[in-house]
Every structure is written in structure tokens, then in C-alpha cells.
Amino acid sequence: MSASGSYGRGAAILSAGIGITGLVTYTYFSLASHVLPEDEYGHISLLWSAVFVVVSVLYRPVEQLLSRTIAERDARGIHGNEHLRVAARIQLGLGLLFAVLALVERDPLQDDLFGGSSTLYWILIVAVLAYAASYFARGYLAGHHHFALYGGLVLLEATSRCMFALAVAVGIATGESAVALGMAAAPIVSLAVVPWLLARRLAPPAAPPPPRADSEPQFTLAHGAGFAAAVLLIMLCEQAFLNAGPLLVKATEGAGGAALAGFTFNALLIARAPLQLFQSVQTSILPHLTRMHTAGDSEPFRRSINVTLAAIGVFSAGVALAMVVAGPALMDLFFGGDFDYSRGGLALIAVGMGLYLAAATLNQAALARERAGTACACWGLAAGAFVAFLLAADWDDRVEQVEVGFTAAALVLATMLYALYRQPQR
């Protein structure tokens, strides 16, 4: 099968699996919003934000490292498992670092973020540590183009998490703790794909290409850590885009902050939900682009990026139109509550979502072309400007402030990464 055919088939498989996953995740929050009081739902949204800030910042760099490295080594005809050992050491070190910091900072986390709930605090600890193994498996599966297993992993994760909210909705369990337990169980259940992974004995193709003259004899810790550090900073900036709004609203709005943070979180789900679907493109496009960059195929490289950007443009325009026509009614249907959703604000978030997805695509191109450091600088400038805007601007409507800031920062980021993409390929 051709490289483009493999990429298209892999993206299609993942799009189906992760598309369903996105709907299941949306259902989880919809159920939680209906069965919990506003303050408790605010705690659930903050726990979700905290978990995925940490796991995305700490563990997705290793997922991306494995995905890119496996693809590059296959293209160069390099064999051996040193890259797996290096990635495992990095992942283990990051997990231990989180555990130590979370235990040291238990009081601020438990009291300030979760309103004194020790249950939510320990769910945070268990969930984050369990995701270390889940993200390692994702990177391994993506690098080897085993996208059906990857899709099964994320679908198991979302479905098992949703079962806990459903249990509360039908009366089997009660309270925010029962809903939150799904976040700790999900990454553990997702590892049920590992027996299939072992049974298939994932290995290089039967007739791998001969080693190239420029092949690297060894994948070192310094090599892997440098790439992972740059991606870690990118992930930190990414989470600032997606989570700084609700977290800063919670921190600055006093007694009603948790409920308003939940409302802000709901509005940003217009950007978050497509991002979960877009993981299928991100997961499949990085090894695909890496192989083409390694082979020197610049024209197919650019064609893949341009086609993806065009699809994002069409999709985001459709979502923006839907928000203009029926956005407030849809949000009230899904989430209820006493807040009024702005039609213009929801459409603005949809536009920002499109710009952000475009930036994420261009970021994968930069990683494939070994420009992680420059891409990291672009992310840092845009995310820093977004956070500074939220802290400095004196707006009466805090949700509107988040909507405007998110879209403007996404435009800045997409512009900078597009300029990097247009530079000649090395």
C-alpha cells in the first residue's frame, strides 16, 4: 500500500473510532451536568481540566516521540529497541515527578481546586499515573500504524468513563465522587487492548528496507529528551489555550467561580470536542509526514498538509454556521443550567476552533521536519499572550473575554506556524 493510502486508511479508521469517542465524552459531561448541582459539576470540569493538563503536558511528548521515532527508524531501516527503553525511562521519570509534586502540594490541590474533597484529589493522582501507560501504548501503536487498536484503546477509555456518569443518572450511584471515579477507571480499562497487542507480537515488517547510509546507530537519551522537552513545552502551551479560561475564571470569581468555570468549560467544549476527533489526524499524520520528510518527498508532504487544512476550513465553517443558527438551543439542551449562551460567542469559539486545528496540523509538520524548538517558541508567544490577556483585560463578561482571547490567540499561533511551514524544507 502507498504511503498516502496508508495514511488515508489510518486516518479513516481513527476518525471513526475517535469520532464515536468524542460523542461518548460529550455524553459523559452532558449526563454529569444534568445530574449534579452546578457547583459539583464545576468540580468535575475542573478535575477533568487538571487531569488532562497534566497528562497532555507530561505524557503526550512521549507519545509523539515514539510515533515519530518509530516512523523515522522504519524509513531508515534501523532496528533495535533502544528507543523504547529511552521513551520508557522518560515516561517513568515524568510520572514520578508528578507523584512527588502532587504529594508535596496536596493541601493547595485538595482545598483550593477541589473544595476540600480528598476523594477528588486521589482520583487525580490515580488517573494521572494510569495515563502514563496509556500514552506510551498510544505512541507505540501509532508509530507502527496499528490504528484499529489505537481507536479501540481510546474508545474503551471514553466508554468506561461514561458508565460512571450513567450509573448516577439511573440511580445506581450518587454524587460527584461517583461521576469523578470514571476518570480514574478509564485509562486503566483502556489497557485491555494490551493483550491483543502482545498476541499480535507487533514487529517490523518481514522485509524491512536496508539501512541507509545516514542511519543513526543508536537512539540516545539526550536525543529523545531534547525532542520530548520541546514537545512538553508545546503541550503546556496547548493546555493553556484549552484550560486557562475555566481555571482563571474559577480563581478570580470568588464564591460563584466554580459554577461560572463550568459554564466557561461548556462553551469551550465547542473547541474541545472536535479536538478529540482531530486526534485521529494528529496521530496518523505525524508518522506519515516523518516518513515523507525522511525520504525527501517534499511535494506529497505539502499536499498532505494542504488537504488537511482545507478540510479543517470546511468543517469549522459548518460548525460556526450551526452555532449561529441553533447554538444557544443546543447548549441548553445538552447542559441545561441557568446560564445564557451567546450566539455570537459560540460562533466565535467555532472560528477559533478552526484556527487552532490548523495550527495543530502545522505543528505536526514542524515536528516531522525536526523543527520542534522553533514551533515551541511560536506556541510560547501565542499562549503567553492569551494568558496575559485574560489576566490584564478588564471585561465585565468573563466568558466573552475567554471567547475573544482564545480566537485571537489561535489566529496568532496559526499565522506563525504557517510562516514556519512555508520555509524551505531542509
Q: How confident is the model at residue 100 (pLDDT cuts 50, 70, 90)?
A: very high
The mean pLDDT value for 245-249 works out to 74
Is 210 inside a domain boundary?
Answer: no
Check pLDDT > 50 for residue 206. no
Sole residue written with cell 452555532: 323
Count up the domains in the chain and report the number: 1
pLDDT of amino acid 117: 87
Residue-wise pLDDT for 395-410, tens only, equals 777 778 888 888 999 9
Provide CB contacts within 8 A for 310, sequence distance 6+. Answer: none
Helix axes 147-169, 175-190, angle to 10 degrees: 160
The mean pLDDT value for 147-171 works out to 89
Q: Which residue has the higher pLDDT, 364 or 244?
A: 364
| Confidence (pTM) | 0.75
CB contact at 8 A, 214 and 76: yes
Residue 353 φ then ψ, to 5°: -60, -45
Q: Is 380 helix (H, G, I), strand (E, B) or coil?
A: helix
Distances (CA, A) of 353 to 195, 245, 315: 36, 14, 10
Provide the percentage of residues in the chain whose pLDDT is more than 70.
81
First to last CA, the chain: 27
pLDDT of amino acid 103: 94
- 336 Rama sector, left if φ>0, alpha if ψ -120 to 50, beta otherwise: left
Q: How far is CA 66 from the centre of its chain?
A: 16
Is 208 inside a domain boundary?
Answer: no
Q: State the DSSP string of 182-207.
A: HHHHHHHHHGGGHHHHHHHT--S-SS
Q: Which residue has the higher pLDDT, 183 or 216?
A: 183
Say which amino acid occupies 425: Q
Is 212 inside a domain boundary?
Answer: no
Check pLDDT > 80 for residue 94. yes
CB contact at 8 A, 373 and 230: yes
Question: What whole-number distance in Å separates Cα of residue 148 and Cα of residue 142?
Answer: 10
Residue-wise pLDDT for 21-71, tens only, equals 778 888 898 898 888 888 888 888 889 888 988 888 889 889 988 888 888
Grid cell digits, residue 354? 478552526
Residue 328 belongs to what domain range?
3-202+218-422
pLDDT of amino acid 14: 66
Check pLDDT > 80 for residue 260. no
pLDDT of amino acid 401: 83
Is 171 inside a domain boundary?
Answer: yes
Grid cell digits, residue 286? 505525524
Question: What whole-number distance in Å separates Cα of residue 246 and Cα of residue 269?
Answer: 11
The mean pLDDT value for 113-138 works out to 91
Helix ranges restricted to H, 170-297? 175-190, 194-200, 221-252, 257-295
Provide the percentage of residues in the chain whose pLDDT is more than 90.
24
Q: Which residue has the higher pLDDT, 108 or 263?
A: 108
Question: What whole-number distance in Å separates Cα of residue 309 and Cα of residue 302?
Answer: 11
Q: How confident is the model at residue 202 (pLDDT cuts 50, 70, 90)?
A: very low
pLDDT of amino acid 60: 87
pLDDT of amino acid 1: 47
Sole residue written with cell 471514553: 158
Is 196 inside a domain boundary?
Answer: yes
pLDDT of amino acid 162: 92
Distances (CA, A) of 148 to 15, 17, 140: 10, 8, 13
Q: How confident is the model at residue 421 (pLDDT cuts 50, 70, 90)?
A: very high
Q: How confident is the model at residue 11 (pLDDT cuts 50, 70, 90)?
A: low
Is 168 inside a domain boundary?
Answer: yes
Q: Which residue has the higher pLDDT, 345 or 100?
A: 100
Helix axes 343-368, 257-295, angle to 10 degrees: 30
Least confident of 25-29, 111-115, 274-278: 274-278
Q: How confident is the model at residue 83 (pLDDT cuts 50, 70, 90)?
A: confident
pLDDT of amino acid 253: 60
Least confident of 47-56, 86-95, 240-249: 240-249
pLDDT of amino acid 226: 80
Is 240 inside a domain boundary?
Answer: yes
pLDDT of amino acid 224: 73
Provide CB contacts within 8 A for 338, sequence distance 6+. Answer: 38
Provide CB contacts within 8 A for 77, sequence distance 6+. Answer: 208, 209, 210, 211, 212, 215
Question: What whole-number distance in Å separates Cα of residue 90 and Cα of residue 231?
Answer: 13
Is 213 inside a domain boundary?
Answer: no
Range picked from 172-186, 206-220, 241-255 for highest mean pLDDT: 172-186
pLDDT of amino acid 123: 94
Least confident of 111-120, 338-347, 406-415: 338-347
